[in-house]
């Protein structure tokens, strides 16, 4: 624990090998992110159709506020999204029991698709997975989704499972950090991370609160998975160094900040109808005032100044949040192009979104050996989560 300000704290997890990361000979000692994969549900919805759907349902009840609230769809930076159910299903209210049943059904299918893709890319079989971290905040299931997946997908009976709930948009980054923590436990650790959200199931067709309308314009469904492996005793060449595949990424450091007196900025309220979104319109202002000093403290602890970070892979909460990040960090909006592209194509999927952004950057071939990449997100608490990655050079 590093004290940074009265009443505030920054928790940073840095590998014991960190002092050696500047020497290529020791890079392989860090936990390694070997693959990332994503999955989307089958129902594709254009943003124009989503706007028309909501206008039909709410315009009369919203009255004078209708045009102002519906403009959020036009200014969202989103052209399309994916939902787990056909759009007409959302027209009628569904109680918590029904949405929970739909969550279990569709979460299990998406988790299996994303995990199979990540395992295949890493060349790992389900039976080799030693730890399974499952992150989600949009549904409740006991036995948890990871237990159901392990039963049906061939994981070993001794796999160590860690379901994590309640981290919201920050969950994918926090899950990646926890996966790296487990990978550090010893040689042979193979950690599967799954971040999955079905945000659309929280849609409330009779709730005219402005936050419900804004959430309907932004949030969507999706899943991502990643494989993180233990530090190897012998150096491994990077696949990208030999056949053009994306480089593997060493997990250099992770950090978290929980800001005091901010519980009302983001989260859920729960009633008989299910989950109701809570988020503040002041989030962009908060980003401008708080994120840079918080981020610089984290990077200083990892020995990497902000100007030495090559790639900014941030969660795209929305266009205004991305603008606030660019303002706060004094950097060009173009540096968040992968975040904007994911937002445009897929909407805000909450926890898996950062892993979609990471996958996009890897697919573009922009991460070269030795490059640093910062994956970051904000979530309920109100909290920040950071993971610093370094693309492996493949050097022994």
Q: Catalytic positions, please?
A: 169
The pair of structure tokens assigned to 293 is 């000093």
The pair of structure tokens assigned to 365 is 């071939």
Compute how many other C-beta atoms are within 10 angstroms of the C-beta atom of residue 198: 28
DSSP-derived 3-state class of residue 104: helix
The pair of structure tokens assigned to 39 is 């999955």
- The contacts of residue 227 (CB under 8 Å, 6+ apart) are 33, 34, 35, 118, 119, 121, 122, 124, 190, 191, 192, 193
Query: How far does Cα 51 stand from its chain's mean position?
Result: 25
DSSP-derived 3-state class of residue 253: strand
With beta carbons less than 8 A apart as the criterion, state whether 132 and 159 touch: yes
What element of type H or E holds 4?
A: strand 2-5
Angle at 284 between CA 354 and CA 267, to 5 degrees: 65
With beta carbons less than 8 A apart as the criterion, state whether 78 and 48 touch: no
With beta carbons less than 8 A apart as the criterion, state whether 329 and 183 touch: no
DSSP-derived 3-state class of residue 391: strand
CA distance linking residue 333 with residue 340, whole number of Å: 9
Q: In b/e form, how buried is each residue of 310-330, taking b as 16+ CB within 10 angstroms?
A: bbbbbbbbbbbbbebbbebbe
Please name which of 330, 348, 297, 277 lies closest in space to residue 47, comparing C-alpha atoms: 348
């Amino acid at each position: 624990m590093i004290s940074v300000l009265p009443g505030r704290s920054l928790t940073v997890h840095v590998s014991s090998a960190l002092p050696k990361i500047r020497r290529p000979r020791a890079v392989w000692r860090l936990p390694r992110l070997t693959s990332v994969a994503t999955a989307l549900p089958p129902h594709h919805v254009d943003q124009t159709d989503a706007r028309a759907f909501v206008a039909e349902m709410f315009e009369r009840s919203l009255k004078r506020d209708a045009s102002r609230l519906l403009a959020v769809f036009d200014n969202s930076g989103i052209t399309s999204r994916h939902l787990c159910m056909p759009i007409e299903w959302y027209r009628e209210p569904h109680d918590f029991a029904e949405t929970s049943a739909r969550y279990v059904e569709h979460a299990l299918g998406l988790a299996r698709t994303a995990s199979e893709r990540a395992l295949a890319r890493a060349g790992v079989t389900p039976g080799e997975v030693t730890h399974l971290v499952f992150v989600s905040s949009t549904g409740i299931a006991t036995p948890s989704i990871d237990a159901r997946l392990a039963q049906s997908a061939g994981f070993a009976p001794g796999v160590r499972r860690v379901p994590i709930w309640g981290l919201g948009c920050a969950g994918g980054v926090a899950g990646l950090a926890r996966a790296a923590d487990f990978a550090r436990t010893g040689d042979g650790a193979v950690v599967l991370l799954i971040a999955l959200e079905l945000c659309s199931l929280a849609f409330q067709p009779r709730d005219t609160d402005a936050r419900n309308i804004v959430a309907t314009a932004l949030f969507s469904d999706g899943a991502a998975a990643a494989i993180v492996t233990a530090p190897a005793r012998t150096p491994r060449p990077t696949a990208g160094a030999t056949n053009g595949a994306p480089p593997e990424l060493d997990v250099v450091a992770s950090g978290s900040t929980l800001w005091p007196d901010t519980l009302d900025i983001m989260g859920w309220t729960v009633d008989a109808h299910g989950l109701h979104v809570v988020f503040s319109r002041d989030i962009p202002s908060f980003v401008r005032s708080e994120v840079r000093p918080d981020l610089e403290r984290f990077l200083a602890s990892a020995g990497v100044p902000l100007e030495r970070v090559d790639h900014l892979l941030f969660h795209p909460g929305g266009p205004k949040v991305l603008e606030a990040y660019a303002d706060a960090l004094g950097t060009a909006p173009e540096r968040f192009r992968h975040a904007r592209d994911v937002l445009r194509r897929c909407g805000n999927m909450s926890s898996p979104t950062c892993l979609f952004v990471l996958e996009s950057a890897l697919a573009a071939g922009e991460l070269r050996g030795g490059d640093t990449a910062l994956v970051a997100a904000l979530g309920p608490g109100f909290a920040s989560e950071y993971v610093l990655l370094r693309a492996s050079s493949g050097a022994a």
